[in-house]
Structure 1
Amino acid sequence: MAYLRRKADGFLEAWRADPNRNPLVIKGPRQVGKTETIRRFASRTYDNVIEINFVEEPKYRSITADGYGADQIARNISLIDPSKRFVPGDTLIFFDEIQAFPDIATSLKFFRIDGKYDVICSGSMLGISYRQIESNSVGYKTDYEMYSMDFEEFLWARGYDDGVVDGMLEHLAQSRPFSETEMTVYSGAFMDYCILGGMPAVVALYIGTGLFSGTLGIQRQLVLDYQEDIRKYASGMDQVRILNVFNHIPVQLARENKKFQISKVASGARFKDYRGCVEWLETSGMVNVCRCLSYPELPLRGNYDENKFKIYFGDTGLFVAMLDDEASDDLRANRNLGVYKGAMYESIVAEALHKSGYDLYYYKKDDSTLEQDFFVRTREWLVPVEVKARKGTAKSMRTLIASDSYPEIRFGVKLSAGNVGSSEHVFSAPYFTAFLLRRLLRAYDEGNAPMMDNLER
Structure 2
Amino acid sequence: MYRTAMEDLQEWKKRSNRKPLIIRGARQVGKTWLLKEFGRIAFRETVYVNFDNNPQMKELFSADMRIERIITGLELYSGHKIEPVDTLLIFDEIQEVPQALASLKYFRENAPQYQIVCAGSLLGIALHQGTSFPVGKVEFLDLYPFSYREFLIALGKERFDKLLEDGDFELATTFRMEYMDLLKQYYYVGGMPEVVMSFVQKKDFNEVRKIQSDILDSYVQDFSKHAPNELVPRIRMLWNSIPSQLSKENKKFLYGLVKEGSRAKEYETALLWLTDCGLVHEVRRVKVPSLPLKAHEDLKAFKLYILDVGLLSCMVRLDQRVLLEGNVLFKEFKGALTEQYVLEQLKTLKGIETYYWTNDRGSAEVDFIIDSGSQIIPLEVKAETNLKAKSLKVYAEKYKPSISVRTSLADYKKEDWLLNLPLWAIGVIDKAFS
Q: Find out whether 1:121 has 2:112 as its counterpart.
A: no
Q: Find out whether 1:205 has 2:194 as its counterpart.
A: no
Q: Distance in 1 between matches of 2:323 and 2:345?
A: 21
Identity %: 30
* Residue type at the aligned position of 2:319: S
Q: Is the 8 A contact 1:176 1:421 kept in 2?
A: no
Question: Given the superposition, is the C-alpha separation of residues 378 and 84 from structure 1 closer, same or farther in structure 2, using an over 3 Å criterion?
Answer: closer
Q: Find out whether 1:29 has 2:26 as its counterpart.
A: yes
Question: Given the superposition, is the C-alpha separation of residues 257 and 47 from structure 1 closer, same or farther in structure 2, using an over 3 Å criterion?
Answer: same
Q: Find out whether 1:11 has 2:8 as its counterpart.
A: yes
Aligned twin of 2:377? 383
Alignment of 1:37-116 (within 5 A): 37-55=34-52, 57-78=54-75, 81=77, 83-112=79-108, 113-116=110-113
Q: Alpha-carbon deviation of 1:109?
A: 1.7
Q: Find out whether 1:438 has 2:430 as its counterpart.
A: yes
Q: Distance in 2 between matches of 1:15 and 1:171?
A: 27
Q: Is the 8 A contact 2:20 2:137 kept in 1?
A: yes
Q: Unaligned regions of 5+ residues in structure 1, if any?
A: 443-457
Q: Distance in 2 between matches of 1:109 and 1:424?
A: 51
Task: Find the residue that maps to 1:148 and give its secondary structure.
Answer: coil
1:39-76 Cα offsets, whole Å, 9 max, x none, are 11112222332211122644322111322222222233
Question: Given the superposition, is the C-alpha separation of residues 367 and 69 from structure 1 closer, same or farther in structure 2, using an over 3 Å criterion?
Answer: same
Q: Unaligned regions of 5+ residues in structure 2, if any?
A: none
Q: Is the 8 A contact 1:263 1:270 kept in 2?
A: yes
Q: Find out whether 1:360 has 2:357 as its counterpart.
A: no
Give the TM-score, by structure 2 length. 0.92
Q: Alpha-carbon deviation of 1:108?
A: 0.9
What is the RMSD of the two structures over their aligned residues, measured on CA atoms?
2.3
* Of 83-92 and 366-375, the range deviating more from structure 2: 83-92
Question: Given the superposition, is the C-alpha separation of residues 14 and 64 from structure 1 closer, same or farther in structure 2, using an over 3 Å criterion?
Answer: same
* Of 88-97 and 238-247, the range deviating more from structure 2: 88-97
Q: Distance in 1 between matches of 2:145 and 2:342?
A: 14
1:144-170 Cα offsets, whole Å, 9 max, x none, are 111111112111112233x54342255
Aligned twin of 1:270? 263
Aligned twin of 1:296? 289
Give the TM-score, by structure 1 length. 0.87
* Residue type at the aligned position of 2:79: S
Q: Alpha-carbon deviation of 1:10?
A: 0.9
Q: Distance in 1 between matches of 2:67 and 2:319?
A: 51
Q: Is the 8 A contact 2:98 2:131 kept in 1?
A: no
Q: Distance in 2 between matches of 1:18 and 1:392?
A: 46
* Residue type at the aligned position of 1:376: I
Count of residue pairs the alignment pairs up: 429
Q: Alpha-carbon deviation of 1:231?
A: 2.3
Alignment of 1:413-428 (within 5 A): 413-423=405-415, 425-428=417-420
1:115-164 Cα offsets, whole Å, 9 max, x none, are 35321111201111123455322222211111111112111112233x54
1:81-112 Cα offsets, whole Å, 9 max, x none, are 37243334322221112232233111112222
Q: Alpha-carbon deviation of 1:179?
A: 3.6
1:209-234 Cα offsets, whole Å, 9 max, x none, are 23323011111111112222222222
Aligned twin of 1:215? 208
Please, which of 146, 165, 176 is the counterpart of residue 143 of structure 2?
Answer: 146
1:431-451 Cα offsets, whole Å, 9 max, x none, are 011111113211xxxxxxxxx
Q: Find out whether 1:328 has 2:292 as its counterpart.
A: no
Q: Alpha-carbon deviation of 1:271?
A: 1.1
Question: Given the superposition, is the C-alpha separation of residues 16 and 98 from structure 1 closer, same or farther in structure 2, using an over 3 Å criterion?
Answer: same
* Residue type at the aligned position of 1:95: F
Q: Distance in 1 between matches of 2:24 and 2:273?
A: 15
Task: Find the residue that maps to 1:64 and give its secondary structure.
Answer: helix
1:173-201 Cα offsets, whole Å, 9 max, x none, are xx747444x10111111111111111111
Task: Find the residue that maps to 1:255 and give its secondary structure.
Answer: coil
Q: Find out whether 1:395 has 2:390 as its counterpart.
A: yes
